[in-house]
Amino acid sequence: MQIDPNTDIIGLIDVQPTFMSGGELPVAGGADVIPVINHLLTRFGHAFATQDWHPPGHSSFASAHPGRQPYDTIDMPYGSQVLWPDHAIAGSAHAAIHPAIDQTRIQAIVRKGFRPGLDSYSAFFENDRTTPTGLEAWLRQRGFSRIVLCGLATDFCVAWSAEDAVRLGFSVIVVQDACRGIGLPTPDGRTTIDIARDRLTALGVRFADSSAI
């Protein structure tokens, strides 16, 4: 892949300690993405990042629903919702962008999930799929048309961001070795990573390794 410095941008999705070993919602191998992402950042002139940014007692937390356990699924007014351990509490050290990430090229940071009753996976919309984060307008005003995504987690925030981006008309590439997934089991014997990859491929999202960029 040849990078166009005028129209290509890399997006770092939720590269936060809360999703790494020692965090509240660790993704297996989550910290392994840091050196890969830092290498990618040297190739791009432009980057944005997202942060999960939840108030205490957020409605997506299992602790906010007596009798429920993490990874249970409930129906919310905006649709099905996985319940998570308390994580990414706004203002906490674990909600910050990981300090080992080179942030010198990050030109915008989008915080999501700060509405107490509405979760947010995508960089573009809250989970009601209609409340915008404002990222689309920022990207269009800056003239970007292709987005390269990396971060955590492959099957949730990265996947939802990629899906929304391609539906909005952007060209999207997911860097496989710069992502890690949660991989919840599904009734058909697969995992949420498998399902996300199939869904994104059908939409036209490309997958690549960092060595190809």
Catalytic residue among 119, 150, 155, 157: 157
pLDDT at res. 20: 98
User: How far is C-alpha 31 from the chain's CA centre?
Assistant: 15
Q: How far apart are CA 158 and CA 10, in angstroms?
A: 12
Catalytic residue among 14, 52, 86, 119: 14
Q: How far apart are CA 76 and CA 10, in angstroms?
A: 32
Catalytic residue among 86, 112, 150, 155: 112
Q: What is the DSSP string of 151-211?
A: EE-IIIIIHHHHHHHHHTT-EEEEEEEEEE----B-TTS-BHHHHHHHHHHHHT-EEE-GG
Q: What parts of the chain have a pLDDT lower than 50?
A: none
* Residue 14 among the catalytic residues: yes
CATH superfamily label, 8-55+85-212: Isochorismatase-like (3.40.50.850)
Domain ranges across the chain: 8-55+85-212
Q: How far apart are CA 30 and CA 9, in angstroms?
A: 22
pLDDT at res. 2: 94
Element (H, E) at 36: helix 33-41
Share the mean pLDDT of the chain: 97
pLDDT at res. 186: 86
Q: How far apart are CA 58 and CA 41, in angstroms?
A: 32
Burial annotation 107-145 (CB, 10 A radius, 16+ → b, else e): ebebbbbbbeebbbbbbbbbbeeeeebebbeebeeeebe
117 SS3 class: coil
Give the tokens for residue 30: 């989550």
